Amino acid sequence: MKILYFHQHFSTPKGATGTRSYEFAQALIKRGHQVTMVCGSYTLGNTEGTATANGRKLVDGIEVIEIPLAYSNYNSLVSRSLLFLRFALRSVGIALTEKYDLLFATTTPLTAGLPGIVMKCFRRKPFVFEVRDLWPELPKAMGVVTNPVVLGGLSLLEWLSYRAADACIGLSPGIVEGIKRRSRKNLPIAMIPNGCDLELFQPGDRSKLSLSGIGPGDCVAVFTGAHGQANGLEAVLDASAELRRRGRKDIKFVFIGDGKLKPALQARVAKAGLEECRFFDPMPKRQLNDVVSCCDVGLMILADVPAFYYGTSPNKFFDYLASGLPVLNNYPGWLAGLIREHRCGVAVAPRDPKAFADAMEFLADHPEERKARSRRARQLGETEFAREKLAAEFVAWLERSAGLSPTDKLRPADGLTPKLRQKDEARV
């Protein structure tokens, strides 16, 4: 079948952002399906390919329609909102005129659902909607969006997207539960989280790490990804200040990425003399592995917002697992539960720089235990979150939604056993 795939922030592995859509499109192509990807222009993305006669691109077998609307993490909320809406309206036109058998759309933003909603009114082809973040729940919980009219409009758009969809995909347990609350009864929902690229990200050699300000005897904790309000990176700086007071200048924090709050974070580091915090530009995925795999600890940091606890599926967590890094997590939820159950890192309470510093000292001072947790991290990635396994589930779900295959055995939609959830909530 031919799939019309909408992802505004699509990128190949040559870019410095997530590649879930690229990998899943490749899995669809290997299965014999055709994929037309509709995307925007993203400063951290990469869509290099061969121009075709109809003005489109052919990118590793994926036909790409790139709408020339540039997006940056530095855009204001208003400019981003307008950009999302413009992209959605252009996408509606494509959804109404393109030839295809199934329409698939993935957030963010939530406006990604508009092409499917309108298409169902006029063409009634199968529509599968993938939810990466719950809107408007997350921006409301963070205080990013407070206008009741805007929140009401987003809530209506969410409801319409779920009602129009023939099936949905949620990337985490909380997202699946959020879809169930707003969707029609018995809507098919699969949980397919982000996964581990086990070929690209592999355990490396600490002695090969070459970064400015990092010595051979340092214990290095790395954070990769956006430097925005949701990421709560002030918590790392608070822990660094606590470690400096303890005289632990051998524990270094490496930040790789970009975002609206990066200049403010760098300014605080400079003012407070936190030389143990080092900032680096975003890196393409292939280059990123060369750095991440040679670090000692992966940082899974988010702002202390309860909606995040079960409602996110961060790429960086799975990159750390694949690289064989023990993960230091600073907020409760399903990832903290996985870390504790599989003993592949340390989970600490939010807003507690002393506990954060204690965890870093423990990992720095116990190299053998750190290595054991590293091995278990890689093992968890291999057994539960291998990208090939998840891509196969994705393909099967789309085929089932189009009526091409019978019910497939997928992971439970709630994504967590009651036992694990009880163990985790007892620690919150």
- Relative to beta strand 102-106, strand 345-347 is unpaired
* Rounded distance between C-alpha atoms, residue 342 and residue 297, angstroms: 16
Q: Tokens representing 358?
A: 């204690």
Note the pLDDT of residue 72.
79
Q: Tokens representing 11?
A: 């990128």
Note the pLDDT of residue 428.
32
* Rounded distance between C-alpha atoms, residue 203 and residue 193, angstroms: 22
Q: Are 363 and 328 in contact (CB under 8 A)?
A: yes
* Rounded distance between C-alpha atoms, residue 134 and residue 145, angstroms: 13
Buried b (16+ CB within 10 A) or exposed e, 9-27: bbbbbbbbbbbbbbbbbbb
Note the pLDDT of residue 405.
66
Note the pLDDT of residue 416.
41
What domains sit in the chain, N to C, each tagged with a CATH number? 2-195+387-420 (3.40.50.2000), 206-384 (3.40.50.2000)
CA 124 from chain center: how many Å?
30
Q: Are 196 and 387 in contact (CB under 8 A)?
A: yes
Q: Tokens representing 36?
A: 């037309």
The one-letter amino acid at 395: V
Note the pLDDT of residue 73.
73
Q: Which residues of the chain have pLDDT under 70?
A: 405-428
Q: Specify the 3-state DSSP secondary structure of 215.
A: coil
* Rounded distance between C-alpha atoms, residue 124 and residue 103, angstroms: 10
Note the pLDDT of residue 406.
57
Torsion of CA 38, 43, 46, 52, to 10 degrees: 50
**Sheet (strand 219-224) strand order:** 277-280, 251-256, 219-224, 297-300, 327-329, 345-347
Rg (CA), the chain: 21
Please name which of 174, 170, 168 lies closest in space to residue 191, comparing C-alpha atoms.
170
Note the pLDDT of residue 418.
35
Percent of the chain with pLDDT over 90: 80
pTM score, whole prediction? 0.90
* Burial degree of 382 (CB within 10 A; 0-12, 13-18, 19+): middle
Note the pLDDT of residue 76.
81
| DSSP letters for 278-324 | EEE----HHHHHHHHTTSSEEEE---S-HHHHHH---HHHHHHHHHT
